[in-house]
């Protein structure tokens, strides 16, 4: 599912996120005050803009409220990071992720309304990019371009159904192989497709990002309807 993503700040972390998200097929706009950084990435993403993202009027002109996700990556400039996060939420951005330099910074960002706080020294840009788009996925490891291993909790509406009924397993509807089921302290390795999922189950599956995203989107739809 294609998303409109706004990246604010073009340090190494921001560039990694922007280029990875663009390679995944999403529309990416990046904003930075440094014109050289903007020029360097302009050919690698959808759009790059030289601007001050702490200026409310600038953010309004950019139409930030039209983006599905905004990511504030300028963690070193804590004051700017906080101000930008506040403005993005004020202007109606649906989901704002902010980079934190330390736990105190992260606490501040959380208190002012950031939907998610990330710590780049703990998380690689590529890994974070996938988790931002696949918001219900708890963890993700890239194995190859557009293919990886994901971990997620089973949705309540799927409880009591077999993996076959859900459409999981090799050769199934979604083409996602279930590597294991974590059920409390029990771990079921390469479960049979007849295995019935239970409340609290955590699945680890492998497959294409596209199929995983489609599966998670359908799961989310049923969750919202329920």
For residues 109 and 152, membership in a common domain is answered with: no
**Residue whose pair of structure tokens reads 């440094």 in the numeric block:** 34
Residue where one domain finishes, among candidates 86, 110, 132: 132
Residue where one domain finishes, among candidates 113, 132, 151: 132
Q: How many domains does the chain have?
A: 2
φ and ψ at residue 65, rounded to 5 degrees: -70, -10
Instruction: Specify the pLDDT at position 61.
Output: 96
State the CATH number of the domain containing residue 161: 3.30.70.1450
3-state helix/strand/coil string of 56-95: HHHHHHCCHHHCCEEEECCCCCHHHHHHHHHHHHHCCCCC
For residues 12 and 111, membership in a common domain is answered with: yes
What is the C-alpha to C-alpha distance for residues 4 and 29, in angstroms, rounded to an integer?
8
- Structure letter (DSSP) for residue 195: P
pLDDT in tens, the chain (226 residues): 789 999 999 998 899 899 989 988 899 999 999 999 999 999 999 999 999 999 999 999 999 999 999 999 986 778 999 999 999 999 999 999 999 988 889 999 999 999 999 887 665 666 666 666 666 677 777 677 678 888 888 888 889 999 999 999 877 788 888 999 999 889 999 899 999 999 999 999 988 888 888 888 887 776 656 5
Nearest to 15 by CA among 36, 3, 1, 4: 36
In angstroms, the first-to-last Cα distance of the chain is: 22
What is the C-alpha to C-alpha distance for residues 215 and 220, in angstroms, rounded to an integer?
9
For residues 64 and 126, membership in a common domain is answered with: yes
For residues 63 and 81, membership in a common domain is answered with: yes
For residues 144 and 89, membership in a common domain is answered with: no
For residues 23 and 107, membership in a common domain is answered with: yes
Q: 91 is written with which tokens?
A: 């202007």
For residues 128 and 146, membership in a common domain is answered with: no
Q: How far is CA 132 from the centre of its chain?
A: 1
For residues 81 and 25, membership in a common domain is answered with: yes
Write the burial class of residue 160 (CB in 10 Å: 0-12 exposed, 13-18 middle, 19+ buried).
exposed
φ and ψ at residue 32, rounded to 5 degrees: -155, 150
Residue where one domain finishes, among candidates 132, 154, 175: 132
What is the C-alpha to C-alpha distance for residues 28 and 52, in angstroms, rounded to an integer?
18
For residues 177 and 214, membership in a common domain is answered with: yes
Write the burial class of residue 116 (CB in 10 Å: 0-12 exposed, 13-18 middle, 19+ buried).
middle
For residues 128 and 140, membership in a common domain is answered with: no
Q: In 112-225, which ranges are continuous DSSP H helix?
A: 125-133, 163-166, 209-225
State the CATH number of the domain containing residue 47: 3.40.50.720
Domain that holds residue 18: 4-132
For residues 40 and 123, membership in a common domain is answered with: yes
For residues 141 and 128, membership in a common domain is answered with: no
């Amino acid at each position: 599912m294609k998303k409109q993503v706004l990246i604010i700040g073009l340090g190494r972390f921001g560039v990694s996120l922007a280029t990875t998200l663009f390679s995944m097929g999403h529309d990416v706009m990046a904003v930075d005050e440094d014109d050289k950084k903007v020029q360097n990435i302009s050919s690698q993403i959808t759009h790059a803009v030289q601007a001050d993202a702490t200026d409310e009027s600038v953010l309004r002109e950019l139409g930030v409220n039209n983006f599905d996700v905004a990511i504030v990556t300028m963690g070193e400039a804590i004051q700017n990071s906080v101000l930008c996060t506040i403005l993005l939420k004020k202007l109606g951005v649906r989901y704002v992720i902010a980079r934190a330099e330390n736990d105190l910074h992260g606490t501040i960002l959380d208190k002012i309304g950031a939907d998610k706080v990330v710590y780049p020294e703990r998380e690689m840009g590529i890994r974070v990019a996938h988790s931002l788009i696949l918001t219900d996925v708890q963890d993700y490891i890239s194995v190859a371009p557009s293919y990886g291993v994901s971990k997620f909790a089973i949705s309540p509406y799927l409880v009591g159904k077999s993996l076959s009924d859900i459409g999981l397993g090799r050769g199934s509807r979604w083409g996602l192989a279930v590597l294991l089921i974590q059920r409390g302290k029990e771990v079921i390795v390469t479960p049979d497709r007849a295995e019935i999922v239970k409340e609290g189950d955590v699945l680890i599956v492998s497959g294409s990002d596209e199929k995983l995203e489609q599966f998670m989107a359908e799961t989310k739809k049923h969750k919202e309807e329920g």
